[in-house]
Amino acid sequence: GQEVVTPILAAKTFWPAEAYHQNFHETNPLRYSFYREACGRDARVRQLWGVDALILEERP
């Protein structure tokens, strides 16, 4: 296999997100479920984990 090399960079200015960005999956569960499906995340997890991915369907 190939070696994975991830550079560690110095932190830059951090800007906290506005309150409406926090816990999006809880405040907008329907929109979040559409996002998860549309971005391909759920399909990829199902591809990698198979039946074990069913656990994720119960969680945000």
pLDDT tens sequence for the chain (60 residues): 899 999 999 999 999 999 988 999 899 999 998 998 999 988 998 898 887 877 766 655
Predicted local distance difference test score (pLDDT) of residue 57: 61
Predicted local distance difference test score (pLDDT) of residue 56: 63
Helix, strand or coil, per DSSP, at residue 8: coil
For CA atoms 11, 13, 19, 25, give the dihedral sign: negative
Flag whether the pTM goes above 0.85.
no
Predicted local distance difference test score (pLDDT) of residue 38: 95
